[in-house]
């Protein structure tokens, strides 16, 4: 699979001095610069513009808020290289939530360690990886929310359905420069 991401930035922070949000810096500033229709991401399903990504980022930020996941809490991402990864990674940051992107080649014991150590409130997982993450949750005795990206989630929370309900126009959580933006294991 071929994946492409292009991020451009202009001058001028939108927050008062000393506060920052990386999702705003990467997405909203490009919208303000007139790049709404410019392609920012390509995956097997198609091409996505800054406008498309911005809407998805806002919807995921609002999804997290509706699920009562608060700023500085963590959400683990076990997502393949699709539009869902930048959506959830940047959407979490926009909401002030700390995303934990993981290597999709990890085994259940690796995922279990991260779930237990990070105390993640939620997990967003590509449907094809779901069996490994369910096993990891059992190993870690982790009982957070599992959100499935893709069509194979059964009766679990489904990313697209949650985002459809959430609506757009998310307010960005501003944080001091030293705040944690994401974790990496």
How many Cα atoms sit within 13 Å of 83 on the Cβ side? 23
- How many residues appear in the chain? 185
| CATH number 3.40.30.10 is the correct assignment for the domain at 4-166 | no
Residue 5 has pLDDT above 50, yes or no: no
Q: Please give the biggest Cα pair distance in the chain.
A: 48
Q: Which pLDDT band holds residue 67 (cuts at 50, 70, 90)?
A: very high
**pTM for this prediction:** 0.89
Which pLDDT does position 180 carry in this prediction? 79
149-174 confidence digits (pLDDT tens): 998 878 899 999 999 999 889 999 98
15-46 confidence digits (pLDDT tens): 667 788 889 889 988 999 999 999 999 999 99
Residue 130 has pLDDT above 80, yes or no: yes
Which pLDDT does position 175 carry in this prediction? 82
**Residue for token digits 């939620």?**
122
Q: State mean pLDDT over 72-98.
A: 97
Of 167, 133, 136, nearest in space to 153 by CA: 133
Please, what is the average pLDDT of the chain?
90
- 125 or 154: which carries more pLDDT confidence? 125
Residue 176 has pLDDT above 90, yes or no: no
Query: In the 3-class helix/strand/coil scheme, how is the chain assigned residue by residue?
Result: CCCEECCCCCCCCCCCCCCECHHHHHHHHHHHCCCCCCEEEEECCEEEEHHHHHHHHHHHHHHHHHCCCCCCCEEEEECCCCCHHHHHHHHHHHHCCEEEECCCCCCHHHHHHHHHHHCCCEEEEEHHHHHHHHHHHHHHCCCCEEEEECCCCCCCEEHHHHHHHHCCCCCCCCECCCCCCCCCC
Domain layout of the chain by residue ranges: 4-166
């Amino acid at each position: 699979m071929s994946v492409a991401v292009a991020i451009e930035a202009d001058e001028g922070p939108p927050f008062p001095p000393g506060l920052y949000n990386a999702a705003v810096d990467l997405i909203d500033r490009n919208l303000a610069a007139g790049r709404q229709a410019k392609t920012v991401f390509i995956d097997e399903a198609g091409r996505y513009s800054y406008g498309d990504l911005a809407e998805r980022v806002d919807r995921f930020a609002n999804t997290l808020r509706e699920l009562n996941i608060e700023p500085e809490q963590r959400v683990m991402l076990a997502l393949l290289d699709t539009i869902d990864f930048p959506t959830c990674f940047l959407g979490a940051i926009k909401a002030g939530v700390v995303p934990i992107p993981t290597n999709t080649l990890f085994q259940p014991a690796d995922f279990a360690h991260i779930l237990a150590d990070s105390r993640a409130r939620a997990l967003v997982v590509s449907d094809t990886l779901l069996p490994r993450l369910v096993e990891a949750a059992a190993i870690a005795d982790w009982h957070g929310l599992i959100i499935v990206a893709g069509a194979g989630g059964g009766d679990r929370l489904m990313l697209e359905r949650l985002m459809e309900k959430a609506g757009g126009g998310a307010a960005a959580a501003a944080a001091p420069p030293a705040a944690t933006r994401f974790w990496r294991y």
